[in-house]
Amino acid sequence: MNFLAIDIGGTKFTLALFDASGRITHRQSRATDRDGGPRWMAARFPEIVASWGVSAIDAIGIGFGGPVNYAAQSVVLSTHVGGWEGFDLVGEVRRTFGAPVLMDNDANVGALGEGLHGAGFGFRPLFYMTLSTGIGGGILTEHGVYRGADSYAGEIGHLTIRPDGPDCLCGANGCFERMCCGLWLERDNGRTVPELLAGPAFVQDYAVNLSLGLKAAIMLLNPARIVIGGGIAKAGNTLFVPLRHELRRRITAWSKARVDVVPAALGDDSVLYGAFELALQAKEMNP
Ligand SMILES: [Zn+2]
């Protein structure tokens, strides 16, 4: 059995082939062509799979870097590049490979990956957050991904943490993402995130802003664990030690809610493993 996992981000997309036991047998990443748009990208998928010498795909899972209407299996929009609105990605991929497809936004898919194969294994409810170019959140309960009424649950990136903060791309201001994501950290400070994280004063301020956002997840969900993925989480203890300290200090004193916050265990592959799980579900629904 061949399961195809597709991770579509803002700057690159990755395809990985899983066997039935959950082992990655092939993988390839490509830069996103901003001018080519979704049609260009979708045409690359069969080329990449053919280059692996694989003839048949049994099912496909897609983690998309933007809001997805899960019930309709449609992309709402890409927050990074244009041209995705109204593009039937799932239909296109299904017709290309002649196999069932399931898609969700990449934070939900990352939650599935870490929850079933990574640092969130056995922890429910699990709150998963990506901390990279942007910020996304996914909630995994014992019944699966919690998506809310309209597929928008877990969108912690646009929670207001600084009401007098700078304008966010979403139209509000002082959003968690505006204050804490890699894109804005680098634009605001004129330095790369690794450079910034080498400064103790920066890390302290950053831990405060991160804890303001994550406090909401803890107070609302009382998660058994929070797993943070994405490039910035690779900073490890430099970031997680002050973050845990700041969170404990800020969680309301009477609350004994646990503060269990750890980096993702699957590194760059959280979304791929989650997409593999989506492919398994797609196969189960279309035996
Ligand atoms: Zn915003």
Whether residue 57 is contained in a domain is answered as: yes
In whole angstroms, give the CA distance from residue 27 to residue 266.
15
- 248 and 126: one domain? yes
162 CA distance to ligand 1 centroid (A)? 11
pLDDT (tens place) for every residue of the chain, 287 residues total: 999 999 998 789 999 999 999 999 999 999 987 777 899 999 999 999 999 999 899 999 999 998 999 999 999 877 666 788 888 999 999 999 999 999 999 999 999 999 999 999 999 999 999 999 899 999 999 999 999 999 999 999 999 999 999 999 889 999 999 999 999 999 999 999 999 999 999 999 999 999 999 999 999 999 999 999 999 999 999 999 999 999 999 999 899 999 999 999 999 999 999 999 999 999 999 98
The answer to whether residue 113 sits within a structural domain is no
Query: Looking at the domain assignment, is residue 240 inside a domain?
Result: yes
User: Could you tell me if 32 and 128 lie in one domain?
Assistant: no
CA of 37 to the centre of ligand 1 (A): 24
Work out whether strand 144-146 and strand 261-263 pair parallel, antiparallel, or are unpaired: unpaired
* Separation of CA 16 and ligand 1 centre (Å): 31
Whether residue 103 is found in the same domain as residue 154: no
Element (H, E) at 108: helix 106-117
Cβ atoms of 217 and 137 closer than 8 Å: yes
Q: In this structure, is residue 150 part of a structural domain?
A: yes
How many domains are contained in the chain?
A: 2
Judgement on whether residues 202 and 96 belong to the same structural domain of the protein: no
Q: How far is the CA of 129 from the centre of ligand 1 (A)?
A: 16
Domain containing residue 18? 3-108+268-285
Residue 104 shares a structural domain with residue 128: no
Question: Tokens representing 27?
Answer: 């993988």
- 135-186 pLDDT, tens digit per residue, is 999 999 999 999 999 999 999 999 999 999 999 988 999 999 999 999 999 9
Question: Quick one: 81 and 132 in the same domain?
Answer: no
CA of 179 to the centre of ligand 1 (A): 9
The CA 209 to ligand 1 mean position distance, Å, reads 14
